[in-house]
Each structure stands twice: as structure tokens, then as C-alpha cells.
Structure 1
Amino acid sequence: MIKGIFFVARLVIAWLLALFFILVVMGHSGPFRNIQPLPEIIAFAVLVLVVTGAFSHLRRVRLIAGHVNLDTLGNRQRRQIELPFEAGEAFDMLDATIRELPYTEEVESARDSLQVRSKMRRPNPYGRAVLGWLNPFSWLGSRRNQIFATVTPGDGIGSVMLVCEPESGAWTDWFRVDDGSNLVNAEAISRALARRVTERRRREQQAAAQTATDKELAQARLNLLYAQVEPHFLYNTLASAQYLTRSEPAQADRMLGHLIQYLRHSLPSAEETLSTLGEELERARAYLEILKIRMGARLELKIEVPDALRAITLPPMMLQTLVENAIKHGLEPKPGGGTVWILGRRDGDSVAITVVDDGQGFGAAGGGTGIGLKNVRERLQLVYGPRASLAVVANVPEGVAATLTVPAQQAAPGATESRS
């Protein structure tokens, strides 16, 4: 209360001194000597308007801020706001917030210098002004406010310095009030920034939760693949082995050996989510060797992968999916069969693994549903994000080439042995 009285007294004293000076000048001026005491009456009316306006300002500030002190009563408001984003993101958030304020007329933003300037029309909180130009608080300076904000870069944060003030010199603060309009602007910007930060955090949490859910779904699909291990392939292989035990025991023994190798590399591991290129090659080789015994001369296999790439990490079953697609949709339907190539090469920080066949290609009927390739793309996105990709193109002169591109990350020492 004392601070409020001091604030009103300061305004009254400033106007008293100004009016006293004006009355002294008018008293020594010839034209005004004959109209006494009109100047004194006008001065008294001005003081009454100043006092009532000051108390209205005092009451409005108390309603807005909940308390009154020299900071809240002032026409010029300053805020220091820390945003948990790098400077560029903090600036974009600040710029968007200021542009959305009501009564904004001009906004100038400079992203390189991280500064925003804005001009604001000052609203009349009590409706249309009855006194108009007779209101002494409207005699000095402009009826507009202005905002100046800068962002200072920090260690992972952007520090916002915000100034809300009248569009007039600081000396006018001795003679006029802003009806709490700059306090409203400062509080509105602070609240809006807090809301935007909360909204950003909520979206990030939702995205993280969605990513975790997607990973769980992808892992469930992978576990289902492990559980199934292509039942028809197993049935056909065991049936073929049973037949060969009577006619070609040596071939049956080879087939069962490859089946054991295939199953060993197809069992899920509880210790890690990523396999290695070497392990996936062994699985694919065992699968294709079994098919070579069943298909005979109709299937050829060529693997050209440098040994240095065998330790590169790779999500399990991805290479197997591409190999199975090459057989099912490319070579098995083709009367004369063909060849499957598995090629690997390193290109800077990436490794490309390509499965090529010279089968029927895209134009053949019964080319599959594409679910396997869709799952591969989804899992690549979940594991590597934009650093990995799957490209499927036509092979020349016939067939299909599917290329997995993944980051060249080495498996931890001993990881390969732990799965053997």
C-alpha cells in the first residue's frame, strides 16, 4: 500500500511542478492576466484527472499481478526467460509468440542477430475513452507500446531478454501511466513461451512413446519370424531329407547339416538386438545350400562380401528376407532357374549389401504382397533412422536387385562368438 501511495504521490508532484511552471509563465503573460482564476481551475481539474488515473492504474496492476510494487507499477517491464532449446529454436518460438499477440501492428525480426522488435497498439482497458484529448495522460508521447527481445545462445539453452515499454522517452514515465498494458504484454509472452515449451515436451514424449511402441511391435514381428522359421521350408526340407536317405544318403546328410546350421543362426538371442553381417551370411548360405540340393542345377549361388565387412552390425532376418524374396518371386517360378548373388561393399561410413537375382523380375505374376519389404523398411527406420535405406530396382537384363544400406558400425568384440 505504501509503495502504491508513493507511486501516486510521485505522479502528483511531477504534475504539480509542471503546472506551477505553466501558471507562473501564464501569470506573467499579458493575455492571461484578465482571465484569472481560470488557469488555476484548469490546473486543479488536471490534478484531479491525474490522481484518478493513477489510482485506476494502481488498481488494475493489483488485479493483473496480484500484488503491487515498483516493478509491477512501472510502465517498462523487463523479463529474463530461459528456454531449453538451442538459440535458433528459441528465436523461432519467441518470434512466433510475439506475432500472435493481439494489437500487434509491426514486427521486425532478424534471425542472424537473434533480435525481434514489435510495435503494439495500446488498448483502452475501460472501453472507448470519454475524455479523449482532455485526458492528461494522452498529452505526452505516443499511444503505442513496443517490444524488444533478444536471444542469447547458451549451452543447449536460449536465454531471452524481453523489454516491454511505451513508445516514448523514459522521462514521460513521470507524467503518465500505461494502465498496465506493458505488464500484460510481458506476462502474456512469458505464459505463451511456457505453454509452447510444455507443448513441445509433450509432443517429444508422445513421439518417444510411439517410437518405443513401434520398436516393441517390430521386435514382436521379429520374434514371430523366429518362431515361424518358415514352416513350409522346414516341412519341405525334412521331406526331401527323408526321401534322400533312401536314395542318396550323402545328400541327405549334407541337407540336414545345412538345416542345422540354418536353425542355429535363426534362434533369437536374448543378449542383443543386432546381429552381424557374417552371421546373416551364414544363415543365408545355409538356406540357399538346402535349396541347391532341392533345385539341383536350377540354382546357382555367388557370394562376394569382403571378410572385413563380416563384423558390421545388421538387424537379424533382413538379409534373409531379401534372399527368400529372390527365390520365391524370382527363381522358383522361372522354368530354368537362375543365380542369386550376395554382394557387399563399403562406401565411406556406410555399407551396402545387395541381393541380386536373374529371375522373372517385376513384371511376373504372383510377385508377392510386399509385406516383407515393408517390414524391412520400417525396421531400418526404427534402428537407424535416416542413416539407412532399402532400394529395390530391376536387374538388367532380367531379375531384381535389392540393396540394404546401413551405417558401418562394428559389433562389440566377442559378440559373434557368443551367438555361435
Structure 2
Amino acid sequence: MDISYSELPDTPAQRVLARRFIWRASWPVALLCGLPILIVIDSLLDPWMKASARPAAFSGIVTCCMLALVAVARARHQLAELREAGGVLSEAMISSAPARDFTSPLDPISTFDLCADRLSSIGMAETLGYARPAAFRHNPFTGRITIGRVRPFWYEGALRITVEQHGSGLTRVHVQRRPGLTRLALQLGQGLALVDKVCAELERALHTRRASMDAAVRTRELERSALQARLHAMQAQVEPHFLYNTLANLKYLIRTDAERAQTMVDHLVGYLQAALPDMRTESSTVGREIELAEHYLSLMQIRMGERLRFGIEVDPALLDCPVPPAMLVSLVENAVKHGLERAARPGTIVVACRGAERWIELSVRDDGAGLGEAAAGDGVGLANIHQRLQLLYGPAAALRVEPGAHGGVLATLRIPRKEPV
């Protein structure tokens, strides 16, 4: 059979691809379409064939040759159209199963879920040119998704998308066209165009999802930065209001009682060593907060004398548990200022800490003036704690202020047993 390739590009590589395309276009049609026709013609002409000396296969051979010539003519016409359009042949264009790979910015599970959601949508069927919703099948265990015009997929062909993870940790998406029985006559570039279209849609969807996730992360980081700024501003309000009074008292004791003045200096240094780092950190521990409260109460005891007694009750196993800084000492300061200082009698303050598997409870109990007087504070202490708890833990934390069992006030701070946000 003499075939002219005058319509093909002049490069040797293009000529080789053109011949390969024509060959692939002709023999499946001649073979698989010619055999059924051979059987039909042989059954119709069986009496005539028996009466003649011609072999029975003659009609089938002629039929196969005619079909092959038709397929060759069709392939040559497609090549001519490609050249007129300025196209260039490639192996992927003439392949019956063209494929493309790309890397997903998401993990395999998220990639598979997003691909399955996008491929099963009506919009994808319209993108692929289907007149009705596409036939769809997916298996999350194998990471494979199959989409086609109709079922069964082996009849008309389909697109298979495979999601897998490489050893380097990258997620690879493999898109391949699977030919069917009705697609034996090769289409020049149509299968590759479908593959490219699906790859473009999936890549766009995956990168859009990644961009939205990155934007959400950036938004959370900005919110976290704003939150920390607010927390630092609130923590800065929890300064030792008693500091000036303590220094004035220390100045008096230096002249009158050097021993008590030395004791006050020791406790003041201990208090500042525990308090100043808390003003710059986002989290403290039960041990540090108890130490801070103890130094504070010791200083106030020197100032108030016999009017103040205090006790510390804490489980040693809880000393390393994280808690927000400067909250406990605010409750202690509130108890001294609004409980004992307003009372005309000596009083006792008990600082306690207990915990369970999921929460920690810090409490300050006094037997001073009671809730009515305690509630008449300047609004900085308890309001500050309420706001910080909401910012750090939301509804998972609570501050409860109630009358004590034997008078005075019981303030209880319950927080989740975890790091603050």
C-alpha cells in the first residue's frame, strides 16, 4: 500500500510519529471490526462459497483491507487538519492512554477527598463535555477515582485518577485516560486534551484550597498576635499596687527596726523575681504562682502585723502544671485589700490548689469583711481575670466568687489542664 505523507511535517521525528499514528489507527479497526463482518458475509454467502472454488476467507480479507483503508484515510485527514492548525505531533497525542502527573500541595487524604468532590460535581461533567452527570467511582483505600461518560467504563473508556504518596513525602496525582471498545479508532490529541483539562481543574482546586488554608493560618496568626498583645496589656495592669506603700514602710522600718526591714527586703526581692518574668511570658506554673502569692502575703504580713495570717495548701504533684501568670496573686491581693484591710479584726487567708485529670483549681479563701465589701473594688482585678480567661480558654475556664462557709469570700479559679492558647 503506497501512502503519501506530503501533509506531514518534514522532520524525521514527526514522520515517525505520523506513521505510528496511522498504523495504530488502522489495524484495530480492520481486525476487530472485520471479523464480525466476515462471519456475517460468510453465513450469507455460504451456499455460493461452497459451489465456487473461492476460499471462504476471501470476503473477510477484502473487508478487512477496505476497513483499514478507511481508517488510514481518516488518520491522514486528522494529520492534515493538525498541520493546518500549526500543531506538532507528540507521543502523548497519539497514545491510546495518555497520562499526566502533578504534585499536590496537600496531604494524600485531603487531596483524595478534594479530587473526589470536584470530579463528582456537575461542573466537572460540563467541563468534560458530558451531556449528563458523569459515571463516577472512587476507592479511598487504593486512592483511585474513575470518571467516564457512561458505565461500564470498559465499553466507552474513562479517566482514572490515582492519588499516592512518594517516599519523599510529596503527594502525587496521576491522571490517565483508559480507552474502551468504542474508542478503537484513535483520536488525535482528544484524549490528551481531556487529561490536561482534568489536571488543570484539579490543580486549580488543590492550590485554591491550599491558599485558603494558608490564609486561614495567617489570619489565626494575626489573631493570635493581637490576642497576645491584649494579654500583655492586661498583664501590665496587674502591677503590685502595694509597691509604693511597701517602699514607704521599708523606709520607716530601716530607721526603727532593721531586722524587720531586712526581712521585708528579702520578701520584696523574692516577689519581684517571681513577678517580673510573669509580665513578659504567656504561661507560668503553679509553683511560681504559689511562690509569688507567698512573697506577697509575707510582705503584707510585715505591714499589717497580727491582723494578717495566711496558709498555703498545694499538692506537690501540681507544681509544674501550666497556668496563666499573675491571676492567683490578683485574687490574693483582692482578698487582702477588700477583705482583711476593711475588717476591724484580724483575719486569715488560705491559698489552695487542687487538680484532676482535666482541670486545675486555684482558690483564695478569707474570713474578712465579706462579699459586699469585696465587690466594691476598683474593677481592675476580677474584670481583668474574666477577660483574660475568655481570651485564653473561652468557656472552658471559669472564675467563681461566692461567700465563704465561715464568712468572708471564696474565690475559685478553674482552668483546663493544658497550655493556654
TM range (shorter): 0.5 to 0.7
Distance 1:399 1:115 in 2: 62
Q: In the TM superposition, what is the alpha-carbon distance from 1:262 to its structure 2 partner?
A: 1.7
Matched, 1:98 2:123: no
Alignment correspondent of 2:90: 69
Q: Is the 8 A contact 1:390 1:403 kept in 2?
A: yes
Alignment correspondent of 1:179: 190
Q: In the TM superposition, what is the alpha-carbon distance from 1:17 to its structure 2 partner?
A: 6.0
Alignment correspondent of 2:129: none
SS in 2 for 1:88: helix
Distance 2:160 2:253 in 1: 86
Distance 1:329 1:115 in 2: 69
AA of the residue aligned to 1:202: D
Q: In the TM superposition, what is the alpha-carbon distance from 1:7 to its structure 2 partner?
A: 1.6
Q: Give unmatched runs, 5+ long, in structure 1.
A: 31-38, 122-139, 409-420
Q: Is the 8 A contact 2:100 2:196 kept in 1?
A: no
Matched, 1:237 2:246: yes
Q: In the TM superposition, what is the alpha-carbon distance from 1:392 to its structure 2 partner?
A: 1.9
Going from structure 1 to structure 2, the CA distance change for 1:165 and 1:365 (only over 3 Å counts) comes to: farther
Alignment correspondent of 1:400: 411
Q: CA RMSD in A?
A: 5.3
Distance 1:154 1:20 in 2: 45
Write the mapping of 1:218-237 to structure 2, written as runs, cut at 5 A: 221=233, 224=236, 229-230=239-240, 232-237=241-246
AA of the residue aligned to 2:384: I
SS in 1 for 2:124: coil
Write the mapping of 1:359-398 to structure 2, written as runs, cut at 5 A: 359-360=370-371, 364=375, 368=379, 370-375=383-388, 378=391, 390-395=397-402, 397=404
AA of the residue aligned to 1:400: A
Q: In the TM superposition, what is the alpha-carbon distance from 1:57 to its structure 2 partner?
A: 8.8
Worse-matched range after superposition: 181-190 or 361-370:
361-370
Q: In the TM superposition, what is the alpha-carbon distance from 1:234 to its structure 2 partner?
A: 1.5
Write the mapping of 1:245-256 to structure 2, written as runs, cut at 5 A: 254-256=263-265
Q: Give unmatched runs, 5+ long, in structure 2.
A: 1-13, 46-62, 126-132
Q: Is the 8 A contact 2:99 2:174 kept in 1?
A: yes
AA of the residue aligned to 1:98: L
AA of the residue aligned to 1:234: L
- Which residue of 139, 142, 147 corresponds with 1:118? 147
Going from structure 1 to structure 2, the CA distance change for 1:260 and 1:10 (only over 3 Å counts) comes to: closer
Q: Is the 8 A contact 2:166 2:172 kept in 1?
A: no
Matched, 1:146 2:158: yes
Q: In the TM superposition, what is the alpha-carbon distance from 1:141 to its structure 2 partner?
A: 4.9
AA of the residue aligned to 1:279: R
Q: In the TM superposition, what is the alpha-carbon distance from 1:319 to its structure 2 partner?
A: 3.4
Q: Is the 8 A contact 1:76 1:163 kept in 2?
A: no
AA of the residue aligned to 1:217: A
- Encode CA deviations 1:93-131: one digit per residue, 9 max, x unaligned: 33233235521534444545644443458xxxxxxxxxx
Alignment correspondent of 2:74: 50
- Encode CA deviations 1:320-375: one digit per residue, 9 max, x unaligned: 34434555677667787965433234545x77251233552899455836334433
Q: Is the 8 A contact 2:360 2:417 kept in 1?
A: yes
The number of aligned residues is 366
Alignment correspondent of 1:34: none
- Encode CA deviations 1:14-34: one digit per residue, 9 max, x unaligned: 44667777887669958xxxx
Alignment correspondent of 2:275: 266
Worse-matched range after superposition: 17-26 or 93-102:
17-26
- Encode CA deviations 1:208-256: one digit per residue, 9 max, x unaligned: 853773586378548846xx833x3222333445566788877666545
Matched, 1:188 2:188: no
Distance 2:226 2:84 in 1: 52
Q: In the TM superposition, what is the alpha-carbon distance from 1:312 to its structure 2 partner?
A: 5.0
Q: In the TM superposition, what is the alpha-carbon distance from 1:150 to its structure 2 partner?
A: 4.4
Alignment correspondent of 2:314: 305
Q: Is the 8 A contact 1:340 1:355 kept in 2?
A: no
Percent identity between the two aligned chains: 23
TM-score of the pair, normalised by structure 2: 0.62
Distance 1:218 1:197 in 2: 31
Distance 1:238 1:89 in 2: 62
- Encode CA deviations 1:248-305: one digit per residue, 9 max, x unaligned: 8776665454333322323339998765533332221122233345556665533112
AA of the residue aligned to 1:258: H
Distance 1:292 1:115 in 2: 74
Q: In the TM superposition, what is the alpha-carbon distance from 1:11 to its structure 2 partner?
A: 1.6
Distance 2:373 2:21 in 1: 84
Distance 1:262 1:50 in 2: 93
Going from structure 1 to structure 2, the CA distance change for 1:366 and 1:58 (only over 3 Å counts) comes to: farther
